[in-house]
Structure 1
Amino acid sequence: MRLVKLLANLGYGTRKEVQIAIRNGWVTDRAGNALKADARTAHDDILFDDEPLDPAQGMVLLLNKPVGYTCSTKDQGRLVYDLLPDRFRYRKPVLSTVGRLDRDTTGALLFTDDGTLLHRIISPKADVPKVYEAVLDRPLKGDEAALFASGTFLLDNDEKPLLPAELEVLGEKHARLTLHEGRYHQVRRMFAATGNHVTALARVKIGNLTLDGLEEGKWRLLDAGDLAKVFGE
């Protein structure tokens, strides 16, 4: 791929803006040699403003999402993309969230520009479990674990029962819930159906991938080992 197209696809600017950057000598190889617009230098050997390029297509990153951010590129207010470098919004193929977390839910959120990988993660066939921790308004009654694990639990306005989910009691008003599907506001609706209300909710694990010390509002790129953890390997 020609250098101009490569940089534009990575979000470093429009083709015109990238051409200006190249003419100004801001795009070099690792030896410091300015590159030409038609250069076919290896991706890993290219620097933009003395910094290595972002990963090529197939990039996956993990964000520790704070409260108050929406998983959208167009909604009003604060968006999860505001927590990433601006150029990530303009990558081609587009960098998409892998599923969604609602505005008031925090924790592990994946992004990728690999459509095949995205669909593999969210596919029911992959059975990638998601683990949530919920803080509740009222004490647990004691029958929630059996109810959620039954495979017959039906939410309001749904015609299909939920898949069995595992509940671990962490405190009087604190629980960890492992889901094997992803329905709209599922955790909140499950507890609401028992007469309770979720006051705080965080996704703490996707497959075997955890936030592992990642600070709230921060992100990191994932490698092959991380992706293996997503699929429980």
Structure 2
Amino acid sequence: MEKQAMAGAAHDAEGQRLSKRVMQQQGCSRSVAEQYIEGGWVSVDGRVEEEPGARVLDSQQVDVSGDAALLDLAPVTLLLNQPVDCAEPLDCLHAATHDDSDPQAGRIRILRRHFKRLQDCAPLPRTAHGLAVFTQDRQIARRLIEDAALIEHECIVEVTGDVNAANLASLRSGNPLPAAKVSRQNENHLRFALPGTAVRAIPALCASVGLKAVNIRRIRIGRIPLAGLEEGRWRFLGRGERF
């Protein structure tokens, strides 16, 4: 009896899973309770708690918002202006780095679940920076990966060497390196428009005409531009936006 009493006291001190508490209060299934929590609709003692496994005590107040939605949690896609020499882009994705100018800011509440199970669909070479895409949406991931050869990526490339002497027209031939649309931006910057599968070939493309790529910045993937997104900041892909 004494051992049982001690076990009961320990259990009370530890509390129960938040999802179980919500199940009891709402009379719903575990999956629905977890949906309420991960959707940011549940608060514990006045603070939103998004982890279904969080432990709560009997003495704590658990509330479910009156306008809580029972819709499936839609997957999100995040667009990041990846910094130079970024070893781990996922470290840049959190609530504090959300761009203030995001048009979706008033429509989507930032939740912890938005930063889980993200796939880097168009990885940048370590030497490059600029627009990067991370998604939970399988359809978007499939399009960017499987159709990479069909989706145009635009990059601004800083080069060293004699741009005047470089035969930029030869880069359009695609033999033996990938074909690319190349135009001169200024004295030492070139604009490349080429398939996503060829982004990593930019240094070799430059070298083939006697130039050295010293800085590669991706500014567009398909129809999605980097636009005014600040370095190290991210925004949500809007519902009407398509690559």
Query: Is TM more than 0.5 here?
Result: yes
* 1:42 alignment counterpart: 69
**CA distance 1:126–1:6, change in 2 (3 Å):** farther
- Distance in 2, matches of 1:27 and 1:167, equals 58
* 2:217 alignment counterpart: 202
Deviates more, 1:3-12 or 1:191-200: 3-12
TM-score, length-normalised on structure 2?
Answer: 0.66
Q: Indicate if the aligned counterparts of 1:132 and 1:201 stay in contact, CA closer than 8 A.
A: yes
* 1:67 alignment counterpart: 84
SS in 2 for 1:16: coil
- Distance in 2, matches of 1:2 and 1:189, equals 53
- Distance in 2, matches of 1:211 and 1:193, equals 28
* 2:75 alignment counterpart: 58
Q: How many positions carry a matched residue from both structures?
A: 189
**CA distance 1:98–1:143, change in 2 (3 Å):** same
> What is the one-letter code of the residue matched to 1:4?
E
The match for 1:96 among 119, 132, 145 is 119
- Distance in 1, matches of 2:188 and 2:158, equals 6
SS in 2 for 1:81: helix
Residue 53 of structure 2 corresponds to residue 16 of structure 1: yes
* 1:151 alignment counterpart: 174
Unpaired segments of 5 or more residues in structure 1?
32-40, 45-54, 71-78, 155-161
- Distance in 2, matches of 1:190 and 1:21, equals 62
SS in 2 for 1:153: coil
SS in 1 for 2:162: coil
- Distance in 2, matches of 1:123 and 1:207, equals 14
* 1:169 alignment counterpart: 184
TM-score, length-normalised on structure 1?
Answer: 0.68
> What is the one-letter code of the residue matched to 2:33?
L
Task: Give CA-to-partner distance per residue, 1:3-51, whole Å, 9 cap, x none.
Answer: 22664699943x422x5399955663256xxxxxxxxx4157xxxxxxx
Pairing of 1:180-199 with structure 2 (within 5 A): 180-183=195-198, 185-199=200-214
Q: Indicate if the aligned counterparts of 2:154 and 2:192 stay in contact, CA closer than 8 A.
A: yes
**CA distance 1:57–1:152, change in 2 (3 Å):** same
**CA distance 1:12–1:171, change in 2 (3 Å):** same
- Distance in 2, matches of 1:105 and 1:23, equals 52
- Distance in 1, matches of 2:228 and 2:149, equals 26
SS in 2 for 1:224: coil
Q: Indicate if the aligned counterparts of 1:65 and 1:109 stay in contact, CA closer than 8 A.
A: yes
Q: How many percent of aligned residue pairs carry the same amino acid? A: 23
- Distance in 1, matches of 2:123 and 2:155, equals 13
- Distance in 2, matches of 1:167 and 1:57, equals 39
SS in 2 for 1:61: strand
Unpaired segments of 5 or more residues in structure 2?
1-30, 41-48, 96-111
Structure showing greater radius of gyration is: 2
Residue 94 of structure 2 corresponds to residue 85 of structure 1: yes
* 2:64 alignment counterpart: 28
- Distance in 2, matches of 1:125 and 1:138, equals 30
Measured on the aligned residues, the alpha-carbon RMSD in Å equals: 3.2
